[in-house]
Amino acid sequence: MSNPRHKDDTKTFEELTYEEQAHSINATIINLHNAIKRHVKDAANPTKTLEKCIEQIGGLYQQLIKEEEQMDKEETK
Q: Which of 5, 24, 4 is nearest to 14 (CA)?
A: 24
Do 53 and 40 form a contact (C-beta atoms < 8 A)? yes
- pLDDT (mean) for 49-65: 98
Mean pLDDT of the chain: 92
pTM recorded for the entire structure? 0.77
Q: Is 21 inside any structural domain?
A: yes
Estimate to the nearest angstrom the gap between the alpha carbon of 8 and the chain centroid: 24
Q: Is 6 inside any structural domain?
A: no
Do 39 and 53 form a contact (C-beta atoms < 8 A)? yes
pLDDT at 1 over 60: no
Q: Which of 38, 42, 36 is nearest to 54 (CA)?
A: 36
Give the confidence band of 51 by pLDDT, cuts at 50, 70, 90: very high
Task: Provide the number of structural domains found in the chain.
Answer: 1
pLDDT at 13 over 70: yes
- Tell me the residue range of the domain where 56 lies: 14-75
Q: How is residue 45 annotated by DSSP?
A: S
